[in-house]
Amino acid sequence: MKIVVVGSGGRLGGALARELGSEHDVTGLRRKELDLTDPATIRNMLGRLDFDLLLTPAALTKVDYCEDHVDEAMAVNAIAPGVMAEIAKSKGARMIHFGTDYVFDGKDPEPRKESDSINPLGVYGLSKAEGERAVLAVSEDFIVARVAWVFGPDRPSFLDSIIARAMEFEQVNAIADKYSSPTFSNDLAEIVSLLIKRPWAGGLLNMCNSGSCSWQEYAQVGIDVAAACGLPLRTQRVDAISLEEMGFQAARPKYTSMSVDRLTEICGRRPRPWQEAVTDYVKRFVST
């Protein structure tokens, strides 16, 4: 299968290009090869390529930056996905676009389902919500895969930074009152690889490791594994801090863990629990 990955320089895009590249003919496009702020450039560049499947993990992902750069956020996260979807449709190709748990307002502690209503709190979530709507307006047969708390070897994330901080400082903390579902980029790439071999089912699809945790619990598991692997940590305890105390510029949703029931049904297997994925990642990529 001929696959194009738009955003192959990112954390998720890097994993997708690598994993799928072992089995398929993959072309990865980084920002310097395709800038998503200009629809004409997208039409010109993507329109020239031949592909059966388009994967679009590229996005403006800096949540606070988006608050002050609304036009850029809307261009990259809201308008570009719709333009890419039109191109994919014109070629008779399939598309998997990547969305976010930040489309929810985070008021309901139950795991979010695909059928739940959305209500983004900030510019990032709003722009991503517009993007997923634009893709599905072009074709309901395309997939919008909502992911959350992505970690992996292609770009450092919260998990790497908490371990680095525990190696440098005697005290570290993480937010204890914000919950979601961590997602190992390599697991996600494997899921996509499996998904494209199964009977195709379009629409919204939650795509993360199974289970739910607070940022503090997530960090503590990472630190526990790093300690067990013998990393020279100055502390092995992650203290609690509240979302409010962090004083982020953009409002963040509190409860956005996601149900993987639909994904499990489509793939025929449940993604492994986030704790196993974190353990695997820290052992293989952080502690070596």
Ligand X SMILES: NC(=O)c1ccc[n+]([C@@H]2O[C@H](COP(=O)([O-])OP(=O)(O)OC[C@H]3O[C@@H](n4cnc5c(N)ncnc54)[C@H](OP(=O)(O)O)[C@@H]3O)[C@@H](O)[C@H]2O)c1
Applying CB under 6 A, does 74 fall inside the site for ligand X? no
# binding residues, ligand X (CB under 6 A): 26
Residue (17 or 166) nearer to ligand X, CB:
17
Determine if 100 is a binding residue for ligand X (CB under 6 A): yes
Minimum distance of ligand X from residue 15's CB (angstroms):
8
- Under rule CB under 6 A, residue 13 binds ligand X: yes
Contacts (CB under 6 A) with ligand X, residues 143-172: 147-150, 155
- Count CB neighbours of 241 within 10 A: 16
Please list every residue from 204 through 223 that binds ligand X, using CB under 6 A. Answer: none
Residue 125, interface with ligand X (CB under 6 A)? Answer: no
Cβ distance to ligand X smaller for residue 35 or 224: 35
- For residue 258, the minimal CB distance to ligand X (Å) is 10
CB of 41 to ligand X, least distance (A): 9
When asked if residue 260 is in the footprint of ligand X (CB under 6 A), the reply is no
Candidates 46, 60, 213, 263; binder of ligand X (CB under 6 A) is 60
Q: Which is nearer to ligand X, 91 or 155 (CB)?
A: 155
| Cβ at position 181, least distance to ligand X in Å | 10
* DSSP character string of the chain: -EEEEETTTSHHHHHHHHHHHTTSEEEEE-TTT--TT-HHHHHHHHHT---SEEEE------HHHHHH-HHHHIIIIIIHHHHHHHHHHHTT-EEEEEEEGGGS-----SPB-TTS-----SHHHHHHHHHHHHHHHH-TTSEEEEE-SEE-TTS--HHHHHHHHHHH-S-EEEESS-EE--EEHHHHHHHHHHHTTSPP--EEEE-S-BS-EEHHHHHHHHHHHHHHTT---S---EEEE-HHHHT-SS---SB--B--HHHHHHHSSPPPBHHHHHHHHIIIII--
Distance in Å, CB of 234 to ligand X, minimum: 26
Q: Does 277 bind ligand X (CB under 6 A)?
A: no
Radius of gyration for the chain, computed over Cα atoms and rounded to the nearest angstrom: 19
Smallest distance from the beta carbon of 156 to ligand X, in angstroms?
A: 9
Does 182 engage in binding with ligand X (CB under 6 A)?
no
Give me the residues that bind ligand X (CB under 6 A), please: 7, 9-13, 31, 34-37, 57-61, 76, 98, 100-101, 128, 147-150, 155
